[in-house]
Copies of this chain bind each other. A is one copy, B any other.
């Protein structure tokens, strides 16, 4: 029985020390638990609610840190891209290109990502059905790239809430791609009056356990040593010291279903 894989890291690359600390700690846990690990960090935040939100430390600097993390720990790394030119740029530094949920219908972005030959991880739009991800996957495959991941990250449920449809996991797997459950963004509570997305991090373990039991191939969890000090998305990141006991539990559930 093979383990699920884990995509984890901070929301945004805030600096080298922090990236190496998180990657090192998560990598050690994953090695012990035999969980394949992909380090994640955004090098730029393009779609924040408010224009005065933190957007990054500089593209090439952040991408360079991602690459360095991959080399040091000998693990794949991933980041999200938002426009066609970013695809070729980011592909020089990372192994997996993540397409944001809002952009999962943008044909030219999907094709540009596909043409890099990197793995393309498409997040399901909050407005899209699991079935409809077929067309997104086909855009990548039609450009000659079969290495597609599909990520569930919640669906619009009224204005200020998202909900995870666990039926979507087998549905998207039936499209021929491994399916990832994004435990962080699935728990967002959008459209808050403040312009800062809220969250319910206490529910991360509930969602993650249900996802593993439902058979997901991978989990996505943003984590930070001290979420309250993070420059973006602090509301939903898992405190790093809670990651290991959660993963131990998840490994046990995985063993129970295979």
14 A/B residue pairs, CB under 8 Å, sorted by A: A47-B107, A48-B107, A50-B135, A83-B83, A126-B126, A129-B160, A132-B159, A155-B163, A157-B157, A167-B206, A206-B214, A209-B257, A210-B214, A249-B257
B200 near A206: Cβ-Cβ < 8 Å: no
- A103 — which chain B residues lie within 8 A by C-beta? 102-103, 106
B159 near A161: Cβ-Cβ < 8 Å: yes
- A214 — which chain B residues lie within 8 A by C-beta? 206, 209-210, 213
- A203 — which chain B residues lie within 8 A by C-beta? 167, 170
A128 nearest in chain B by CB position: B191
Copies of chain A in the complex: 4
Tell yes or no: A134 within 8 A of B by CB: yes
- A5 — which chain B residues lie within 8 A by C-beta? none
Given contacts A49-B132, A156-B156, A158-B158, 8 further A-B contacts (CB under 8 A): A46-B106, A55-B107, A102-B105, A102-B125, A132-B190, A167-B200, A210-B210, A213-B213
A213 near B215: Cβ-Cβ < 8 Å: no
Which 5 A-B residue pairings sit nearest by Cβ, starting from the closest?
Answer: A158-B158, A213-B213, A129-B159, A210-B210, A156-B156
Tell yes or no: A176 within 8 A of B by CB: no
- A200 — which chain B residues lie within 8 A by C-beta? 167
Please, how many residues of chain A have a CB less than 8 angstroms from a CB on the other chain? 64
Whole-angstrom distance from the CB of A204 to the nearest CB of chain B?
Answer: 10
- A108 — which chain B residues lie within 8 A by C-beta? 46, 82-83
Q: CA A255 – CA B108 in complex, angstroms?
A: 45
Tell yes or no: A127 within 8 A of B by CB: yes
| Most B CB within 10 A of own CB, among A49, A142, A213, A215 | A213
A195 nearest in chain B by CB position: B135
Q: Could you list which residues of chain A lie within 8 angstroms of chain B, going by C-beta atoms?
A: 46-51, 55, 82-84, 102-103, 105-108, 125-129, 131-132, 134-135, 138-139, 142, 155-161, 163-167, 169-170, 187, 190-191, 193, 195, 200, 203, 206-207, 209-215, 249, 252-253, 255-257
**Which of B107, B193, B215, B256 is within 8 Å of A252, CB to CB?**
B256
A210 near B166: Cβ-Cβ < 8 Å: yes
Whole-angstrom distance from the CB of A187 to the nearest CB of chain B?
Answer: 8
Whole-angstrom distance from the CB of A212 to the nearest CB of chain B?
Answer: 7
A161 nearest in chain B by CB position: B158
Whole-angstrom distance from the CB of A161 to the nearest CB of chain B?
Answer: 5
